[in-house]
Each structure stands twice: as C-alpha cells, then as structure tokens.
Chains A and B, each alone.
Chain A
Amino acid sequence: MSAGVTSSEELRIDWKIQEDPDRMAAFQAHIDAKGLVEADDWMPHNYRVGMLRMAEHHANSEIVGALPEGEWITRAPSLRRKLALVAKVQDEVGHGQMLYRTSQDLGKSRDQMLRDLVTGKTRYHNVFNYPAPTWADVAMIQWLVDGAAILNQKSLAEGSYGPYVRTMKRINMEEAFHFKSGEDMVLTLMSGTKRQRQMAQEAFDRWWGPCLMFFGPPDRESTKTGPFMTWRIKTATNDTLREAYVDRFAPAARALGLNIHLARKNPDGLIAVKADGTPDKIEDPLIRLDESTGHWGFTQPDWDEFYRVIGGDGPCNKQRVALRRFSYEQGRWVRQAVMGCAGLPPSRN
C-alpha cells in the first residue's frame, strides 16, 4: 500500500519539477472540493515531500516532547499524578508512533527518520528546547503547551491528507486528557499553599514566551498564499493561531491569579535575577482586552531568541537530542535481536 519513494534524493522539495497539468488540475479541484488525499492516490511530488516533512517534524516533536515531562515521572507527588503522567508521556510516544507511520507511508523509513533526528539533520518543535526545572513546569506544559498543540492540531485536522487528518483527530482525543489534567494541576497549585502558587507563577513565566512562539514567526504575505496553503497542508496562519491562543489563555491565567510577565532569561532558560535578588521581570503592559477588536493585546515574544534556539543554541537542544540518541544507540542491539528471532506465533487467539 505504501508508495514507493525511497531514496532521500527524491525527498526534496523541487519547484522546477513539471507535473502533468491535467493531473495537477484534477488534484487541485479535488482539494478545493474539500476532498482528502489518500496514500495510494497520485499526488504532486512537492505535495508528498511537504506532507512528509510536516508529518516527520510532528512525529519528531512528539517523541522529543516526551522528554521534558519524562524527567518528572519518577518524582510525581501522588499515585494518581504518577499514573497520569506516565500515561500522558506514553500518549506522546503513541502520537510519535502514529505520525512516523504516516510518514513511512509517504516514503521514508522510520529508522532513517530516527537517525536524522538524533544526528541533528531534522528538527522538532522548538518549545521542547526549554527546561522543566520544577513540578509546576509539568502542570504548565500540560496546560499551556498541550493547549497550544490542540489549537494547532485542530487546524491541521482540516488539512487535505487523509491519513494525517485522521491521525490528528485521534491525537486530539488524547490531547483533551492532557489538557484537562494540566488544568487540574494548575488549578490545584493555584488553590494551594503560597509556595505552590509561587511555583506555578514561576513556571508560567518560563512557559508563556515559548508558548507565544509555539505557532512560529509572524506571517509574511507569501506564507498566506503559498502552495502549502492552497493544497491545505497548512490550514491556518501563525498569527491567527497565536491570536486565538492569547484570547483564550490570557484571561484564564489572570482569572487564576497568574500575572503575565515580560521576563529576561538566562541562557539556561531560567528567569534572570536582578542585583537585588528578585526576578528580572515586569508585567506585560499590553495585556488587556481591546474592546474594539474583541482580541487581547500582548507583547510579541523575543524573536531573536526564537531564531537562536531554533538554530540549535537553546537551553536544552543538546541534551534533548543526546538523550534521544542515547535511546537509539542503546536500543540497537534489542532491535537486532528481535529482527533475528521473528516468527513467534501469537498465543492469545
């Protein structure tokens, strides 16, 4: 069933390729009519590559995204939280599995994708390059980052590639659990002791900026009209999603008693401290509802930081990739062993 693109040479975007005009027209018409493309269908080379890149990047993000919270599995403070956190991180691995599978059917082997990830040839979502130094970060990740992921994935579920769209819908069902569990943790902390509320505020300060960056840099005109938009590989612009995000989370955070700060960060991703020992942060002066537009104002995050982190120089880039690499290298003998003794029949009907 999988289409036969295999060599990585063929997996590059190439706008010079001349596709058959009749097929192209029929393909575009099918997409314009809200039709879905299936793995076996004819598709333009650049559609295949664009879709593969997106699904692969998404898959990478899921399994790297399992790492920051994974650090807290052994320290979760109650039996229920421990179970929920293990299940949540397990879900992210499951999302990765499904998305790698989708990508495999677009023509790249899973092994090659994992190898490219651990040698830095491909990327994953920037947000996972930030540290999670306290338990409250787990709460904020599940509320703010999974909340951002849901928004993004809801729009991706409107896309045109059937296997990816179905995977998005499935994933969103599980994200709903992550998000609710995150809300529950944040609410618990904010109705807890002074120390717990402070932990929550500090974690919020660390995650608010990265979450604004989550949706990518501000749109240029080209991104709103490019082929990936007309093919419905991408379905909403970065700025639209960011605006929707702030509209939802800024008032919710304030209602909980969380302040939205502009904070200066150290290279390790922690909030810098002033000479007097207090955190170097001020309240974002733009956070307020604009009655005329119905949208919340906010200060743009530090886009220089964004490009620096994406370029590899973030607080946790090295550590995240290295841990994935460790897992890949450490697991090699196991994968070889199972390949070497295939053929056991199933024993439960």
Chain B
Amino acid sequence: MQELSDKLKAPLTDLLLSIADDKLMLGHGASDWTGLAPILEEDIAFSAISQEEIAHAAALYEVVGTMHGRSADAVAFGREPSAYRCAELTSLGDDFDWSRAIVRQLFCDHFDLLRFERLARSLLKSVAALSKRIGAEEATHVEHADVWLIRLGRGGDESKTRAQAALNALSGAAAMLFEPTDGVDVLEREGIYPAGEGSLFDRWQEDVGRVVAEAGLTLEVVPSPADAVGGRRGRHGESFTGLLDEMCEVYRVEPEAAW
C-alpha cells in the first residue's frame, strides 16, 4: 500500500471498517439461513451470497490488518464493541422471515454498490483494484435482492403484505447506513474516497425506489439528523452486542490459539 500520512490513516481505517463490519454482520446473518431457506436451490444461492459478503469483509480486514500490524481475524473478532463501525441495520435479526432477510439485503447491497463505485476510483491503487473486484460481485447481489423484492411484491396478497411490512420495519434503520464515519470528508477531498454525482443518500433512494416501485410497494426513508450518533461512530444497540458475543463465543475461549 502507498504511504499514508497519519492524518489519513485513522479516517481510512474507520471507512474500511465501516464497510467490512457491515459485510461481516450482514453475511453472518444471511449465512444462518444455510440449511433452512424456503427453497433448496435458493438456500444454495443465498448461502453463496453470504459467503461472498464474509469473503469481502475478510479482504478488507486484511487491508486494515496490514495497516495496523494485526491479523485479519484479530481485526474481525478481537475488538471491543465500541471499535466496530457497522450500522445497526446489518445486525438486526430477521427471525427467519424471508421478507426481512431480503429487504435487509436490498438496502445494504445497493448501498455497498455505491460505496464500491466510489472506492474503485480511489487514488489508493490497491484499494481501488480490490473495490472494483468486490463491486462486480456486489452487482450480482443487487440483482438477486431486486428480483426477490419484485417477486415478493408481485407474488400475491400475503407476500405483498409481508414485503411491505419488512420495508416499513427496516426503513428507520436504513437511514443510519448513511451516518458518516469520522474524517470521511478528508478522504473525499484527498481523492481516497472520491465523491460522485449527488449524495449517496439521494442515489440510494433513487436506486432502491425504482425497485420498490417495480415491486408495487412503497418506501419512505427519512434522513437522520446530521448529529445523530450510531454504529459508524461506535454506538451500538443490543442487537449488535448480542450478535458479537455469539460470533466470538469460540474465538474468545482461547484468542491466542489457532482453531
């Protein structure tokens, strides 16, 4: 990796962690469906997506780990809860309700695609190259989520009602995806996380809104106030800490040991 000034190191760490932590939590939640999804073929497909989310997270932890002289596993499993940068949405359980799993995925996948579009133009060559590869896979996740929302929206009364309920239930947490990580403005100015046309929020609303409309559903996401503090700055709710404890249950038995 190119030399980073100290001024940039902390903000970049936060940004990369926000993406990696999102993906780890999201992939973790999605992977729990393996063996239990509504259709066997979909079980395989959704599990493949969950693996990709976790693999993307692993690749980003590797980058962060290299910056800080730690292993990817130590970064993934070995931090205090307040050092995680994921948004609450990614750790919200779905209670094995398929509509919730799909909507959570829809919101996060569209958001990730936009983040990776930006990072793919980063002046940090290694980050840009990695982001291009991840972005390509992310696009297939977006398609998967889009098609599912459309099927659910058009699939009859019960599924339409459930899909709409899931959109309503998760729209509040969706707004907090956009909470900026500390120092992100510096990264934008320095071309490490170049801004694109329009705000992330507007682009996301447009992209997701198009799919929601095609599915015959509605969505209203109210932007969070600029001073709202959430997961991006280490403030987490119970859904996250519970999930983290479960995820680290074995790791913490002997953190120094190989497993």
Contact = CB atoms under 8 A, between A and B. Distances in A.
A83 B28 CA distance: 10
Contact of B98 (A79, A188, A334, A344): A334
A92 B43 CA distance: 11
Interface string A55-92: 00000000100110010011111111111001101101
Interface string B220-247: 0000000000000000000000000011
A341 B155 contact: yes
Given A331-B39, A338-B39, A78 B96 contact: no
Contact of A83 (B51, B98, B156, B254): B51
B40 A97 contact: yes
B98 to A, nearest CB: 5
A333 interface: yes
Given A86-B31, A196-B257, A336-B159, A96 B250 contact: no
A87 B28 CA distance: 13
A126 B86 CA distance: 42
A75 B150 CA distance: 33
A257 interface: no
Q: Is the interface of B mostly helix, strand, loop or mixed?
A: helix
Interface residues of B, number: 50
Contact of B250 (A75, A90, A94, A347): A75
B47 A335 contact: no
Nearest to A134: B250
Given A78-B251, A93-B35, A63 B47 contact: no
Contacts of A77: 77, 250-251, 253, 259
A97 B51 CA distance: 19
A90 B33 CA distance: 10
Contacts of A278: none
A266 interface: no
A337 B47 contact: no
A8 interface: no
Given A81-B259, A341-B154, A90 B34 contact: yes
A48 B74 CA distance: 54
Q: A77, A93, A338: which has the most chain B beta carbons within 10 Å?
A: A77
Interface in A302-349: 323, 326-327, 330-341, 344, 347-348
B50 interface: yes
Given A86-B47, A86-B51, A73 B34 contact: yes
Contacts of B54: 79, 82-83, 86
B175 interface: no
A337 B40 contact: no
A334 B38 contact: yes
Chain A interface, DSSP helix/strand/loop, else mixed? helix
A70 B76 contact: no
A192 interface: yes
A70 B257 contact: no
Interface residues of A, number: 52
A140 B51 CA distance: 23
B77 A63 contact: no
A93 B259 contact: no
B34 A66 contact: yes
Contacts of B31: 73-74, 82, 86
Interface string B40-57: 110110011011001101
A79 B72 contact: yes
B73 interface: yes
B154 A63 contact: no
Contacts of A87: 47, 51
A100 interface: yes
Contacts of B38: 327, 330-332, 334-335
Contacts of B98: 330-331, 334
Nearest to A87: B51
Contacts of A326: 36, 96
A161 interface: no
Nearest to B72: A79
Given A89-B34, A336-B158, A337-B159, A79 B76 contact: yes
A2 interface: no
A208 interface: no
Contacts of A323: 36
Nearest to B245: A75
A336 B155 contact: yes
A335 B77 contact: no
Interface string A126-164: 000000000100000000000000000000000000000
Given A79-B73, A326-B36, A338-B155, 15 more contacts: A74-B28, A77-B259, A78-B251, A79-B54, A79-B57, A83-B58, A86-B47, A89-B47, A93-B40, A192-B259, A327-B38, A332-B38, A335-B39, A337-B152, A341-B150
Interface of B: 28, 31-32, 34-41, 43-44, 47-48, 50-51, 54-55, 57-58, 61, 72-73, 76-77, 96-98, 143, 147, 150-152, 154-156, 158-159, 162, 246-247, 249-251, 253-254, 257-259
Interface of A: 63, 66-67, 70, 73-83, 86-87, 89-90, 92-94, 96-97, 100, 110, 135, 185, 188-189, 192-193, 195-196, 323, 326-327, 330-341, 344, 347-348
The 9 closest A-B pairs by CB, nearest first: A331-B38, A337-B155, A337-B159, A66-B35, A334-B38, A77-B250, A90-B47, A77-B259, A341-B154
